[in-house]
A and B are shown apart, each in its own frame.
Chain A
């Protein structure tokens, strides 16, 4: 798979060109999270704990969320839907390259690049807040955590790719895409830990695969997930299912594209 390795390297260089914007978007996230932490801090002044979360748990939750946002969550759908609606998708259609695998590689290379930056930022942040960060007590939890991040990354890519190729069917996809992405991130636990919501909501969120993106890995890190193995299996099931589904959807989308042409 030499061609995808080259795609990986070329995109890495492209990412280097965009290191400024990448850094700024991380700073933006950092600001967002600082505000949330400030808010939580105020809440905790009158309350000793919220649900099963201590203040340290929540601080850790948001630092991890910051890292996951850069290393796991995928933001490729913008460019995919642009390519489809503007017609540069044709460039891929005439070449011996699989669009899904191509974007998987681009996403992977981008996430690793951003990951390097965020790890530095996360390390500095943890160091500053060392007194308030809950680290896992066993090495195994850490291994599970990393594995769950990989699964989350695969799922996040698949969801975002699905959103991107909606452009085959919907002409003006942008506002719709915003809504979908927001729903996914919300149900993933990117804004609030899912177990702070009412039980009925939790039942729904647990049945959906989105929690594997953010909530599930963080639960493992905080050692609130007694046995992550069933979760791993379910996530892997979703990854495989979505892979075949996306290949199918892509074929259908291309049929549509072939009829209209851009």
Chain B
């Protein structure tokens, strides 16, 4: 049985158009034209228990709206969702004890108190037994190296430290499903890396189903085998990360360092040149041209170093996002 089952989920926000200026405000008092914004459009997917799946998409793509519906914060306009066979927006207590959501830009810890206090509070809100509480707390404190921070008021913690504590607070009741909304947002590279490896390790140890949104490609590359790419409220791609690159990457990148100085103009007939100076060259060529181009370079120049690289996944995503918004690229029913 799937841990998360979403079908045809749609959320339309209604706002009101306001014409600019004072006159517009005045008119708005009497007649307001409703404006509809489809944040999530008929989205369907499913997640197996224990999967760690990444949700990729630019700002405003509908990632957060989706997670909010799955946590019961938002009521959908239409469609179905089942998480652990509960309908999230019924906010069943039994469901609430089995999932958690961490939002990167929202704080759930008590600002003026040490995180340990918020942990105790969550222990009792979720009705966790003291033994289990102490065990999972110790585990996570060890994994995240938080020992010295437990007694420091939250307001004195750095953003990265706070995020770690947010994660601990959210995981004390050992949820079976975890939603992470931009858990690494605004963090420095090292903190990002620590949060990432923690999530990875936690998922491996506890078999928790994790749905993670991010617009940092690295998060997804390191953590997730499977990705859902969402754009303009629709799922644009649902499949393996490797598949994503196979499908959308038809080019490779050849990087060359010349042994001796060259003319700064590339030879005629050589395609896909992106950089060509006295010592370096970078070429982006079609996959089937790679062998031919490499051969030509090796024959024509004294080369010190040559490498053939995959295009960066980030570039792939950028291309998907740039494609016509209304065209769905879903590859699963």
Q: Which residues of B86-113 are within 8 A (CB) of A?
A: 89, 91, 93, 96-97, 99-101, 103, 106-108, 110, 112-113
Tell whether A244 is near chain B: CB-to-CB under 8 Å. no
B-binding segment of A33-41, A49-57, A94-102, A230-238: A94-102
**Contacting residues, chain B, for A2 (C-beta < 8 A):** 124, 127
- Contact check, A261 vs B68: say whether CB atoms are below 8 A apart: yes
Interface string of B69-89 (1 = CB under 8 A from A): 001111100000000000001
- Contact check, A93 vs B126: say whether CB atoms are below 8 A apart: no
- Determine how close the nearest CB of chain A comes to the CB of B165; give it in whole angstroms: 14
What's the count of A-B pairs with C-beta under 8 Å? 77
Interface string of A58-102 (1 = CB under 8 A from B): 000000000000000000000000000001101101111100000
Given contacts A94-B73, A255-B75, A258-B75, contact A10 B110 (CB under 8 A): yes
Tell whether A241 is near chain B: CB-to-CB under 8 Å. no
- 5 CB < 8 A contacts A-B: A14-B112, A17-B112, A90-B106, A261-B65, A261-B74
**Contacting residues, chain B, for A258 (C-beta < 8 A):** 73-75, 89
Interface string of A161-193 (1 = CB under 8 A from B): 000000000000000000000000000000000
Q: How far is the CA of A259 from the CA of B15 in the complex (A)?
A: 11
Q: Which residues of B26-53 are within 8 A (CB) of A?
A: none
Given contacts A2-B124, A94-B101, A261-B73, contact A10 B113 (CB under 8 A): yes
**Contacting residues, chain A, for B99 (C-beta < 8 A):** 94
Interface string of B290-303 (1 = CB under 8 A from A): 00000000000000
Quick one: closest A residue to B68, CB to CB?
A261
Q: Tell me the count of chain B residues lying within 8 A, CB to CB, of chain A.
A: 34
Tell whether B152 is near chain A: CB-to-CB under 8 Å. no
- Contact check, A13 vs B106: say whether CB atoms are below 8 A apart: no
Q: Which residues of A1-38 are within 8 A (CB) of B?
A: 2-3, 5-7, 10, 13-14, 17-18
Interface string of A92-127 (1 = CB under 8 A from B): 011111000000000000000000000000000000
Q: How far is the CA of A13 from the CA of B73 in the complex (A)?
A: 29
Q: Which of A17, A95, A255 contacts B126 (CB 8 A)?
A: A95
Tell whether B120 is near chain A: CB-to-CB under 8 Å. yes
Quick one: closest B residue to A87, CB to CB?
B106
**Contacting residues, chain B, for A88 (C-beta < 8 A):** 106-108
Q: Determine chain B's interface SS by DSSP, over half rule.
A: mixed
**Contacting residues, chain B, for A128 (C-beta < 8 A):** none
Tell whether A42 is near chain B: CB-to-CB under 8 Å. no
Seen from chain B, the residues whose Cβ lies within 8 Å of a Cβ on chain A are 13-14, 65, 68, 71-75, 89, 91, 93, 96-97, 99-101, 103, 106-108, 110, 112-113, 117-118, 120-121, 123-127, 153
Q: Tell me the count of chain A residues lying within 8 A, CB to CB, of chain B.
A: 25
Quick one: closest A residue to B14, CB to CB?
A259
**Contacting residues, chain B, for A96 (C-beta < 8 A):** 93, 96-97, 125-127
Q: How far is the CA of A96 from the CA of B89 in the complex (A)?
A: 13
Quick one: closest A residue to B77, CB to CB?
A259
Which 8 A-B pairs give the minimum distances between C-beta atoms?
Answer: A258-B75, A6-B124, A3-B124, A17-B112, A96-B96, A91-B108, A261-B74, A96-B93
- Contact check, A90 vs B68: say whether CB atoms are below 8 A apart: yes
Quick one: closest B residue to A102, CB to CB?
B125
Q: How far is the CA of A74 from the CA of B329 in the complex (A)?
A: 55
**Contacting residues, chain A, for B75 (C-beta < 8 A):** 255, 258-259
- Determine how close the nearest CB of chain A comes to the CB of B65; give it in whole angstroms: 7
- Contact check, B96 vs A18: say whether CB atoms are below 8 A apart: no
- Determine how close the nearest CB of chain B comes to the CB of A10; give it in whole angstroms: 5
Tell whether A131 is near chain B: CB-to-CB under 8 Å. no
Given contacts A2-B124, A94-B101, A259-B75, contact A10 B91 (CB under 8 A): no
Q: How far is the CA of A137 from the CA of B68 in the complex (A)?
A: 60
Tell whether A199 is near chain B: CB-to-CB under 8 Å. no
- Determine how close the nearest CB of chain B comes to the CB of A13; give it in whole angstroms: 6
- Contact check, B91 vs A93: say whether CB atoms are below 8 A apart: yes
Quick one: closest A residue to B109, CB to CB?
A91
- Determine how close the nearest CB of chain A comes to the CB of B170; give it in whole angstroms: 10
- Contact check, A94 vs B72: say whether CB atoms are below 8 A apart: yes
Q: How far is the CA of A255 from the CA of B74 in the complex (A)?
A: 9
**Contacting residues, chain A, for B100 (C-beta < 8 A):** 94
**Contacting residues, chain B, for A91 (C-beta < 8 A):** 106, 108
